[in-house]
Amino acid sequence: MNRFRSIRPARRAGILLALLAPVIFAASIAIVAGADTNAPVAQASELKVAAAKTAKKPEKKKLTGAELYQFHCNRCHAERYATEFTSAQWKTIVTHMRVRANLPAAQAREILKYLQEDSGN
Amino acid sequence: MKISSLLFGTVAAACVMGAALPHSASAQVSADDFNALKKVVEQLGDKVQKLEQTHEQDQKTHQQDQQVIQQLQQQLGETKAAVTNAQQTADNVAKAQAANPAVNASPGPLHNVTMAGDAEVQFGKTAGQHSAFTLADFAPLFLYRASDDVLFEAGFDIMNNNNARPPGGHSTSLSLTFATLDYLLNDYMTLQAGQLLLPLGTYSERGAGWLNKIPDDPMVRDDLLPQTGTGVQLRGAVPVGETGQMVSYAVYGVNGPSSATGTATATGDLDLAGNVGNGGNWHANPSGGGRLAWFYPWKPHYDFELGISGQTGDWSDSGNRSWSAAVVDAALHLGPNIEVKGEHIDTWVETDDVGKIHPSGWWIQPAFKLAGLNLELPYINNVELVGRYDRENDDGLTAGGAGNTKTDRYTAGGIYYFSNTLLFEADYEWLISHGVAPLPPNRFILQLSYGF
């Protein structure tokens, strides 16, 4: 340290500048390279966030008319074939069963839709 | 010297950078290459921009085409409908003219009328009696949907009873099982008015001949509870979530049980059917009742239902005697082949002669379809085995102060399904009956049922 202090200030500044130059250069390369290597990671994480935002939450599966038919109708009697009655008859019968079996209206509508799809002529 | 020192430093730094740069530049792209690459990228950018513009134009054209197609489809549908209507009208007119020039081609008032129901024939033998064809029953159910919100429904029983000797004799009857006007107030509530099937438990509403897996009713259903009542009812169900669960309810007011004679003795005065039965209305105040139930399915054919219901009111003005009932019902399905259901029934009857009595009982009925065994044998898959245990303690309701009668009944049988609506039932019953009015020790019943 004493020898370095004995060097004139201007020369000391030159020596420090000469030493700092490669350090700064190396650091700049590392920074640039680091930026390049981190870029995909940043993009991937952003993509994940964006995907998470845009992805819909998994919806609960809504019961189909066929499933509701199995839930309710087989409780009391053997299942009837859709072809046994016409579309108009099914509407009347399902209205009757909605009252008799206390079916929620929305479920009765799904069951009716299912039965009318293959109803008889 | 200062200048020379700074120059020395700068030169030293330049030398170091000069020594370092060539190594790193060797891994970089030259300026020419970079410029060439830049030019290529710019050209690609221009191309992408042009493609995007072209794509936008294509989308606009596609949307216009879609609108045109939609309009054309609509016009085509209207044209087809017009053609179909014209053809139908022409056909109807031609038929009407051929048959009768005055015939009206409208659908008519029977368009929304549907008939359902069931029919049964029974053959049986009770201990101490001859065997006989004991019953022929035709039970049509007429439904008239007046609108989306209004339904009229009425069920009849046209029945012929042939009693085996002793005592012999026969009877033919036509009775109104129920008759109601149903007004669907909203998705969760329906108003019913008329002669109601009472929701005391579930048996009254779900016990038609081809629904019940045993030809006769549990003793407690016939002896202790009314099946119907004239009055009004609010009923419905509220779904719980999207899994099929629901809570159902019913609240009603009906005339209720009455006295057959005007007095209130325990020996045969109680007319459970009230003024829709044999006697008049011997009381002033109607009865009130209701049912609350929870239905829990966890997958198709697998469910559990638990309900509690009750009714109370006066049955005779003679001393303002009251009649009350409480029913707990449950049903369990474990797949399409296993079912267990049952009810526990308590009633309380105030009488003139023996005070307040407590007739009660319960029944449980398991059933198993042999299709569940997957045996792949002919006919076996069409068989369902059924059993039932039912118990009744009339607590003097039959004989009053003379004493009570207790009966345990064990039933075993089976069903053969010819189809989903035509079934043959065969059952044997063992009875252990003690008291003032014991029942015969055994009985068998065969029944052919058809639901329609």
Q: At what angle do helices A65-72 and A105-117 cross, to 10 degrees?
A: 110
Q: How far is A45 from chain B (nearest CA, A)?
A: 26
Q: Is A76 on the interface with B (CB under 8 A)?
A: yes
Return the pLDDT at A41.
39
Phi, psi of B441 (to 5 degrees): -75, -25
Over residues B310-328, the pLDDT tens digits come to 999 988 877 788 999 999 9
**Residue ranges of chain A whose pLDDT lies below 50:** 1, 25-45, 47
Q: Which residues of chain B have pLDDT under 70?
A: 1-29, 93, 96-111, 165, 274-282, 284
Residue B154 buriedness (CB in 10 A; 0-12 / 13-18 / 19+):
middle
| Ranges of each domain in chain A | 2-54, 65-117
Write the residue in B16, B24, B190 that is nearest to A99 by C-beta: B190
The pLDDT of residue A111? 95
In B, which residues are within 8 Å of A99 by CB distance? 151, 153, 182, 184, 190, 192, 235
Q: How many residue contacts between A and B have a Cβ separation below 8 Å?
A: 138
- Output the pTM of the full model: 0.69
Spatial contact of B267 and B278, defined as CB atoms under 8 Å apart:
no
Among B192, B213, B232, B246, most A C-beta atoms within 10 A, so best to mutate, is B246
Residue B449 is predicted with a pLDDT of 96
- Count of alpha carbons within 13 angstroms of residue B343, beta-carbon side: 29
Distance of CA A108 to the CA centre of its chain: 32
Which of A20, A94, A99, A114 has the highest number of chain B CBs within 10 A, making it the mutation to test binding with B?
A99
Q: Label residue B433 left, alpha or beta by phi (over 0 means left) and psi (-120 to 50 means alpha).
A: beta
Chain A neighbours among B 83-102 (CB < 8 Å)? none
Spatial separation of the C-alpha atoms in residues B348 and A71, rounded to whole Å: 36
CA distance B218 to B223: 9
Q: Whole-angstrom Cα distance, residue B39 to residue A99?
A: 76
